[in-house]
Amino acid sequence: MRKMMGMKFFANAISVYRNYCSHSFSNSIVQKAYESGNKVKKNKPKVHKAKIKLTDEQNNVLDHVRGGLSVFITGSAGTGKTVLLKHIIKILKKTYGESGVFVTASTGIAACALGGQTLHSFAGIRIGDGNRGMLLDLVLNDREARRRWNKAQVLVIDEISLVDADLFDKLEYIAKTVRESDKVWGGIRLVVSGDFFQLPPIFKGHDPSRKEFAFEADCWDASFDIQVELTKIFRQSENRFIKLLQGVRRGNSDPEDLQFLKQSCSASEPHPSAVRLYPRIDDVNKVNEEKMKALSEEQVIYEAIDRGKKPWKRQLALGLAPDKLVLCKGARVMLIKNLNVMHRLVNGATGIVTGFTETKGGTVLSPDNLLPVVKFDSGPEMVIEPQKWYVMVGSRPVAWRLQLPLVLAWALSIHKCQGMSLDRIHTDLSRAFGYGMVYVALSRVRSLDGLHLSGFSPSKIKAHPKVLEFYSHLA
């Protein structure tokens, strides 16, 4: 049986090996940071412990978790789902030990916020392409992935709205098969969180009959003992703004509220420190390039090195690593690969380039052999070295790209910022598309003061009918 699936996979699967390998990195990069002179040192991450008093509804969920239940936690943006998850993770780790609790999220940035890894990286399914047999085969051929599935007693997943129904079912199948158990998820407890009114999973092509949302998965209901909705919103405190956001979330906004939004947030110029959010990646790139130019610092150009046969090599450009990366001192950057999960140097971690250091040996990506030094927002400062991205046929690499695992991060896509709380944003929604996008963008900011808006029109606000129906049943 196993062998047959393996053959099928080798025949069919070609996938870009993106940023989903986390386990095999040692501390060597952090170590190098220590060794390469005075300028580069690893600072102890600063821990700001804000005293948060959980509400009764949050505490109720904690009690269910203490009682050993599998839970789905939902609620509007900013109801403290992620904050609650952090408390839950602490309790779970006390109960099951560090090694029994796997913390994941659907995006790198959300995973970073919880000190976890992406769901794909945990699962060992690379970019998740292929039928369940192919994905199972990837896992079975990866000793570390098998170990994770077998060790897991609890799996935490944040930002579930971006995980599609099929993937949810496939992962449940993998769990059962790897763990050789008939129980749902092979006996792994789930603690899952997210808001389906936010961004839906991304699909290529259009197929109206397709299941989309994770709540449509065959195993969804069986996966949870309880499904709870948090109702108290913390991220925002202005009642008018909260009411407005609730309308946008459900796609039935009060026209007066929208008029008020337009008037109050579109007048003056955006604040210079505002993070810029865009629906489309080409706008993100344009703004990042402009910000770089404005720094007027000497730029270092890193050209990716691609190797392999032509048809495979072309696929490298579809991955996350850019063909050409331009950096300078002061550039705001984000990691696009997990370097060291323990040190929270994971896909989504942001920081600033503080300088460059000369390399000795290794493959050269820049003319002067310079590597950037990045001070991460989470504390560590380190030299960033080139990493490899592979195109695989089965378990055989057929092409690879060598590039620094960084992108510029003054501007972000709305997709990437789901889950963040931001003080000041400027968002241009003229190119917004699909469901939930306007809601995700607007609900990032804590107050109307910090919101600057352009390109907004009420027709861009959309809530998916299936999501409305799911929540009507939940209530």
Taking the least distance from each CB to Mg ion, the nearer of 242 and 352 is: 242
**Closest C-alpha to 253, from 428, 432, 459, 467:** 459
Collapse the DSSP code of 411 into the 3-class scheme (helix H, G, I; strand E, B; otherwise coil) and give the result: strand
Which 422-451 residues touch ligand ADP, going by CB under 6 A? none
Residue 141 interaction partner, one of ligand ADP, Mg ion, none, beta carbon < 5-8 Å per kind: none
How distant, in Å, are the alpha carbons of 13, 274, 425, 452 from that of 457? 42, 21, 18, 14
Tell me the two tokens of residue 210. 């397709």
343 binds ligand ADP (CB under 6 A): no
Q: How many residues bind ligand ADP (CB under 6 A)?
A: 16
136 binds ligand ADP (CB under 6 A): no
Round to whole Å and give the CA distance between 475 and 470.
9
CB of 228 to ligand ADP, least distance (A): 12
Collapse the DSSP code of 414 into the 3-class scheme (helix H, G, I; strand E, B; otherwise coil) and give the result: helix
Residue 194 interaction partner, one of ligand ADP, Mg ion, none, beta carbon < 5-8 Å per kind: none
How distant, in Å, are the alpha carbons of 13, 131, 372 from that of 49? 46, 43, 31
Tell which one of 21, 25, 40, 78 touches ligand ADP (CB under 6 A).
78
406 binds ligand ADP (CB under 6 A): no
Window of 62-70, 79-87, 263-271, 286-294 that interacts with ligand ADP by CB under 6 A: 79-87
List phi, psi (to 5°) of 227: -125, 120
198 binds ligand ADP (CB under 6 A): no
419 binds Mg ion (CB under 5 A): yes
Tell which one of 14, 54, 328, 448 touches ligand ADP (CB under 6 A).
54
Strands (E), 146-193: 154-158, 189-193
236 binds ligand ADP (CB under 6 A): no
Q: Which residue is nearest to ligand ADP (CB)?
A: 80
Residue 338 interaction partner, one of Mg ion, ligand ADP, none, beta carbon < 5-8 Å per kind: none
Q: How many residues bind Mg ion (CB under 5 A)?
A: 3
Window of 1-9, 76-84, 132-140, 162-170 that interacts with ligand ADP by CB under 6 A: 76-84
Window of 54-62, 147-155, 216-224, 427-435 that interacts with ligand ADP by CB under 6 A: 54-62
Collapse the DSSP code of 3 into the 3-class scheme (helix H, G, I; strand E, B; otherwise coil) and give the result: helix
Tell which one of 421, 430, 449, 466 touches ligand ADP (CB under 6 A).
421
Taking the least distance from each CB to ligand ADP, the nearer of 246 and 403 is: 246
**Closest C-alpha to 418, from 345, 343, 348, 318:** 348
Taking the least distance from each CB to ligand ADP, the nearer of 150 and 237 is: 237
234 binds ligand ADP (CB under 6 A): yes
CB atoms within 10 A of CB 121: 26
The DSSP line for 90-147 is HHHHHHH-GGGEEEEESSHHHHHHTT-EEHHHHHT-TT--S-HHHHHHHHHT-HHHHH
Tell which one of 22, 82, 246, 359 touches ligand ADP (CB under 6 A).
82
74 binds Mg ion (CB under 5 A): no
List Cβ neighbours of 3 (8 Å cut-off, separation of 6 or more). none
Query: Which residue, chain included where needed, has tokens 């001070």?
Result: 375
Round to whole Å and give the CA distance between 322 and 387.
12
Which secondary structure element, helix H or strand E, spans residue 174, and what is its range? helix 165-178
Tell me the two tokens of residue 1. 């049986």
Q: Which residues bind Mg ion (CB under 5 A)?
A: 81-82, 419
